[in-house]
């Protein structure tokens, strides 16, 4: 299959041309600046293009959602960011927001309404799960024979790490698993999963501070849960979780036998994008 060509629409440009996109795709700080998660952004944009989704991004006009500021206790900064974003969204007549970050998803969905920002908010796994009935997701040779995936098997074993702000905070456990199932991946649940899942250790602003005293860092405890499943892939759906799982894999010297992919990356690979 010929690689898909992507031309990302910028909200200010399409709005000036008189068009109102159905979705604002909120890239997020990690999706824009973190080298690893920028790959997820690119793959998800390919999927949006493949399915001819009517969307646009803010580009350089995008700021931060304010999530980390609030978790870290800087309420004033959070409200400044939120109010600025809400006014921007309203100016562009945004009705639906699509994001790959559960933290931003939670903030837009549950916290912006208190400040007058009422929008329909979708996490990318929810969006992908909704596409499945109209799609033919299969596990083609691109996924089976991907040289990065070792060992190469016809039935890759996958375990999904539940992001706190998608799972416990918003009760969404089925969407990512539905997508992985549609890809034909064998799913193995960790001993601690869904509402009992262990945090990756990065949420609540923890990623940006030094570890507190203790016997073991949280990400090490969590990657041990992953390794115990014997999975080939730990699937994630959050930039924070991706950092922690990747660090855990390196810490345990499992780079050759265990890979970390975002759900969107697996869909893109399966579609041959």
Q: What was the pLDDT predicted at 207?
A: 67
Question: What predicted TM-score, i.e. pTM, was given to this entire model?
Answer: 0.90
Q: What was the pLDDT predicted at 99?
A: 98
User: pLDDT band at residue 152, thresholds of 50, 70 and 90?
Assistant: very low
Task: Find the helix or strand (DSSP H, E) in which 46 lies.
Answer: helix 35-50
Question: pLDDT, tens digit, for every residue of 167-178?
Answer: 999 999 999 999
Task: Give how many domains the chain has, as a whole number.
Answer: 2
CATH number at residue 33: 3.40.50.1860
User: pLDDT band at residue 154, thresholds of 50, 70 and 90?
Assistant: very low
Average pLDDT over residues 127-156: 60
* Inter-residue contact 128 to 47 (CB < 8 Å): yes
Report d(CA 184, CA 141) in Å as an integer.
12
Distance of CA 71 to the CA centre of its chain: 19
Question: Domain for residue 4, yes or no?
Answer: no
Question: Domain for residue 216, yes or no?
Answer: yes
Question: Over pLDDT 70: what percentage of the chain?
Answer: 88
Instruction: Give me the half-sphere count of Cα atoms (radius 13 Å) on the Cβ side of residue 3.
Output: 4
Report d(CA 143, CA 29) in Å as an integer.
28
Domain-terminating residue out of 129, 148, 165: 129
Domain-terminating residue out of 129, 161, 194: 129
Question: Domain for residue 6, yes or no?
Answer: no
Question: Are both 16 and 95 inside the same structural domain?
Answer: yes
Give the C-alpha distances (Å, rounded to integers) separating 114 from 78, 83, 151, 153, 254: 12, 10, 49, 49, 44
Q: What was the pLDDT predicted at 134?
A: 64
Q: What was the pLDDT predicted at 221?
A: 94
Maximum CA extent, the chain: 58
What's the full length of the chain, in residues? 273
Report d(CA 13, CA 33) in Å as an integer.
22
Question: pLDDT, tens digit, for every residue of 11-46?
Answer: 999 999 999 999 999 999 988 999 999 999 999 999
User: pLDDT band at residue 123, thresholds of 50, 70 and 90?
Assistant: very high
Question: Are both 183 and 258 inside the same structural domain?
Answer: yes
Burial 33-60 (b: 16+ CB within 10 A, else e): ebeebebbbbbbbbbbbbeebebbbbee
What six digits make up the tokens of 173? 């456990």
CATH number at residue 148: 3.40.50
pLDDT of 217 higher than 60: yes
Report d(CA 75, CA 81) in Å as an integer.
10
* Inter-residue contact 85 to 63 (CB < 8 Å): yes
Q: What was the pLDDT predicted at 153?
A: 38
Residue 180 domain boundaries: 136-270
Q: What was the pLDDT predicted at 226?
A: 96
Question: Are both 45 and 142 inside the same structural domain?
Answer: no
Q: What was the pLDDT predicted at 68?
A: 93
Question: Are both 150 and 104 inside the same structural domain?
Answer: no
Positive/negative CA dihedral, 197, 228, 150, 140: negative
Domain-terminating residue out of 112, 129, 146: 129
What is the DSSP-derived secondary structure letter of residue 2? P
Average pLDDT over residues 133-153: 51
* Inter-residue contact 85 to 28 (CB < 8 Å): no
Question: Are both 251 and 212 inside the same structural domain?
Answer: yes
Report d(CA 176, CA 186) in Å as an integer.
13
Question: Are both 84 and 167 inside the same structural domain?
Answer: no
């Amino acid at each position: 299959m010929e690689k898909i060509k992507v031309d990302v629409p910028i909200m200010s440009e399409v709005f000036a041309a008189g068009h109102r996109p159905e979705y604002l795709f909120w890239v997020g700080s990690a999706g824009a600046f973190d080298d690893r998660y920028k790959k997820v952004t690119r793959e998800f944009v390919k999927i949006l293009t493949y399915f001819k989704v009517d969307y646009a991004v803010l580009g350089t006009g995008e700021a931060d959602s304010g999530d980390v500021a609030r978790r870290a206790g800087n309420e004033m900064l959070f409200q400044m960011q939120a109010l600025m974003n809400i006014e921007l969204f309203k100016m562009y007549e945004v009705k639906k927001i699509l994001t790959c970050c559960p933290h931003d998803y939670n903030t837009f969905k549950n916290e912006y309404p208190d400040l007058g920002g009422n929008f329909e908010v979708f996490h990318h796994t929810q969006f992908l799960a909704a596409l499945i009935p109209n799609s033919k997701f299969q596990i083609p040779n691109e996924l089976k024979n991907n040289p990065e995936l070792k060992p190469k098997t016809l039935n890759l074993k996958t375990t999904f790490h539940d992001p706190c702000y998608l799972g416990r905070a918003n009760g969404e456990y089925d969407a990512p698993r539905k997508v992985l199932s549609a890809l034909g991946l064998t799913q193995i649940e960790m001993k601690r999963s869904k509402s009992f899942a262990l945090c990756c250790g990065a949420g609540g602003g923890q990623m940006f501070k030094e570890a507190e005293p203790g016997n073991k860092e949280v990400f090490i405890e969590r990657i041990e849960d992953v390794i115990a499943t014997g999975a080939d892939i730990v699937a994630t759906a959050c930039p924070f979780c991706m950092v922690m799982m990747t660090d855990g894999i390196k810490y345990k010297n499992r780079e050759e036998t265990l890979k970390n992919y975002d759900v969107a990356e697996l869909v893109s690979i399966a579609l041959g994008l």
